Structure formats: structure tokens, C-alpha cells
Amino acid sequence: MIPAQGHAGERVAVLGLGRSGLAAARALRAGGAEPLCWDDNPAAREAAEAEGLLCTDLLRGGVLESASALILSPGIPHLYPAPNPVVAAALEAGVPLDNDIGLFFRSLATSDWASHDMPPRVVAVTGSNGKSTTAALIHHILGESGRDSQLAGNIGRGVFDIDPPGDGAVVVLELSSYQTELARALTPDIAVFTNLSPDHLDRHAGRGGYFAAKRRLFAEGAPDRAVIGVDETEGQFLSNQLSEARGDDRVIQVSVTRKLTSAGWHVFVRKGFLTEYRKGRQVGAADLRPVRGLPGAHNHQNACAAWAVARSLGLAPRVIESALHSFPGLPHRSQVVAESGGVTFVNDSKATNVDSAARALAAFPRIRWICGGLEKEGGLDALRGQTGAVVKAYVIGREAAAFAMQLDVEAEICTDMATAVARAAADAAPGDTVLLAPAAASFDQYDNFEQRGADFTAMVRRHL
């Protein structure tokens, strides 16, 4: 555990007692503060009280006013579409808002760091799609190279649950827009922006607000080096804003749509081959086509970003390439769960928006596509023209019929996962991929995308 600094002897309110909130409360207590905790879920309060944490209604008269800060969990809105009632009360009372990420960055460095030959480094990864895979891949490459690395944030452990990093260690964080938009301190050594596509628009009052939340990691975080995906306008703009000149190699541009060879530092993929250019000449390369854990252009973008980070940390190209081949991939993200009779079954339940689904559909040649769920804002129009590899769609979800009507491919309404898997597997021929890439949220039928992916995997195994 890392003790939270800066609040010793103070009361600090903590709203939301999930993984990150509970870890923040423990860290505050370890740092000498008195956390005042609350969660609307009685079970969460009971779990906190079992650890000796004080749970009290933060809206009760005088409680918030006695606190020096309010630490919010990521899912709790503080501005759009409307502030949570506790947040509204804190704003009225002038109580500063923060989250565990801001608290973590203010607490990480201690006096012990003066004895390190090489200070620990923090790599922070954000973006719409590929954050988890990129962060996990960076962590994997570092581990395979013998570097001390810990993975936390929006993946793995809460940031305060990691061990204090030692000499030359690296902390790799995946950060969502919910985390970057509110953190009062953002000071990564290396920051990564994968890409941007419409998501969480109600929470951020539109695409501009969503991008602004991501941009804070760079504009306010001032990393020593920024790795920026430039295949969307927002990434090009961010790269431009961070560069002092055309050859500024503090910014590493990443692309899977075009060759980048101008002045500066670039990592790009063309036809499955990753190439690194610096100051106008090639300095590294790798063939990604046989890398089983990273199929498709979207995963090649993740590989580019991870490569750029690893090179920034001093790793040699041959070391990075070797580590790429041993990366197993992440559950629910282009995860091969079975192969039978020449048919491959792939779980990409994390493809919860249209853009991530389109990327998954571009990764395989002949697809039996299982899709559907709780449709997100903006509809499915952006998928038109992206379904050339789809032989047939098998639609799940409570509104499966309405979802199917928006697709530009043959679609069968299955409603539930068991039916979809059975029908897709029965229709599949050797060379086909049965792909779960829902292009929708899971909450109409499942608690989360992990549960949906686990159901797909279970149904595949039952069928086989």
C-alpha cells in the first residue's frame, strides 16, 4: 500500500466504496487522515466498516463542512449530466473535489526516493479504445525484459494498492476519462493517447468535453514524453499542441493508417510490419503478423504505443519484439477462446462502442458476428461500410430486432447468447471466425462486459 500524503490530521470524505474508493480510504487512514466514507450500497458500507472505516451519511448536517476534501470514485458524476447530490453539497460548501488518481500522484514520491540511483517512473495510458491492452502490453514487455513493473488504475489493482516502487521501477496506469477529468494532480513521466471515438458523451456533455478530459493528462500533466496516436484529428491536434517544433522528439507519433518518416520520432505499422523512425531514418522494426496475442490493426496500434514507451525507457528493439510474441492478450479483448474444425471463436466483449467493434471486424477475413445489447448514443450508422468481412450477424439483446434493422448485413435475431452461439457455430465453415463484438453496452442483459464475455465463452465450450 502507498499511504496518502497531504491530509494527516484532517478529515477527508470518500464517496463510493468500490475498488478505488476503498483503497483510497485505506491509504488516507495509513497517511494519518480520518476518512469519512459513504456508499449508497449497504453491502459496500458493511465491507468498509468490517475494516474499521467510519461510514457516515455525507449529507448529514456538518459532516461535509468538517472535511478538507471530497474524494470521488470514477463512476460518480461531478458535473454532467448533473452533479451527484453529495457533490452538489460539496460545491456549495466549498469543499475541494479530487479522486484517487490526483491523490496518488501527490503521494507517490517520498523522501526515500533520494536514495534511488534511478527514480521510479510512471507511464499513464488513456484514449477511447486499446487502453487496457496497451497498458498490459507495456507491463508485459517490462516484465519480460527484467524491469520491475506494476500495473494499476482502471485495470488490475487500485492505484493505492500497489507496493511503493523501488529503484528504477515503473508504474503503468490505465486511466479513463472519468479519472483524468477530475484529478487535481497528473504528473506522469510518459503519457499515452491511443485514439478517440465517441463514448461516455452524456458524462462529458459531448465529444469536445470527452476529448478535453483526455487532454488534461497531457496539458496539465506535462509528461517528459508523450506517445500520441495520430489517426484521428484529435490526436493530430494534441501532437501539434505538445510539439515545440517539427522535429521535437518529446512527442512520439503512432499510426496504423500511414507511413510516418518526417523529422521527429514515429512508430507506425504498414501491412503488419512495425517500423520505428527517428530523425528521418529507420532505427527499429518488427513483424507483427505472427504475433498471436495482437490480431488486427487495432492491436497493431496498441503494439506501436507500447513499443514507443518501451523504447523511451531504454529497451532494445529485439527485446521488445521477443516480448510481443509472448503476450497472451487480455480477456474479452480479441481473445481466442476456442478453435474447432477450422473455426475460431473470439471473445471481444470489450468492443462496447461502434468504433471498437469496427476495429474488431477488420481483424478477421470471414466473420460470423455476434452483436447487440444496449445501444449507445449515436446509433450504428458509423458501422455501415465496415462490415465487408461479415458473412452474417447474430443479434442478441432485449432490443435485438431494432438493432438488427440498422445493420447492412444479413442478420438473424437470436436475443440470447446461447442461441447466437449455437446458430453461428452451426453455420460456420472452416476458415470462419465466430466473433463476439457487440458494438453496444451489456447492461440490458448482463452486469458488465466481463460477464457477457464469460457467458459467450461458456456457451462456446458447451457447444463444442
Q: From CA 103, how far away is CA 221, in angstroms rounded?
A: 14
Residue 160: strand, helix, or coil: helix
* Residue 376 counted as an annotated binding residue: no
Per the listing, cell 442483459 goes with: 445
* Residue 132 counted as an annotated binding residue: yes
Query: Do 235 and 127 touch, CB atoms closer than 8 A?
Result: no
* Residue 180 counted as an annotated binding residue: no
Q: From CA 177, how far away is CA 171, in angstroms rounded?
A: 19
* Residue 130 counted as an annotated binding residue: yes
Strands 251-255 and 265-270: parallel
* Residue 127 counted as an annotated binding residue: yes
Backbone angles phi, psi at 376, to 5 degrees: -90, 165
* Residue 129 counted as an annotated binding residue: yes
Residue 11: strand, helix, or coil: strand
Residues composing the chain: 464
CA 252 from chain centre, in angstroms, equals: 20
Q: Calculate ∠ Cα 177-355-234, nearest 5°.
A: 55
* Residue 115 counted as an annotated binding residue: no
CA distance from start to end of the chain: 44
Q: Calculate ∠ Cα 194-181-150, nearest 5°.
A: 60
Q: Annotated binding site, which residues?
A: 127-133
Q: Annotated binding site for ATP, which residues?
A: 127-133
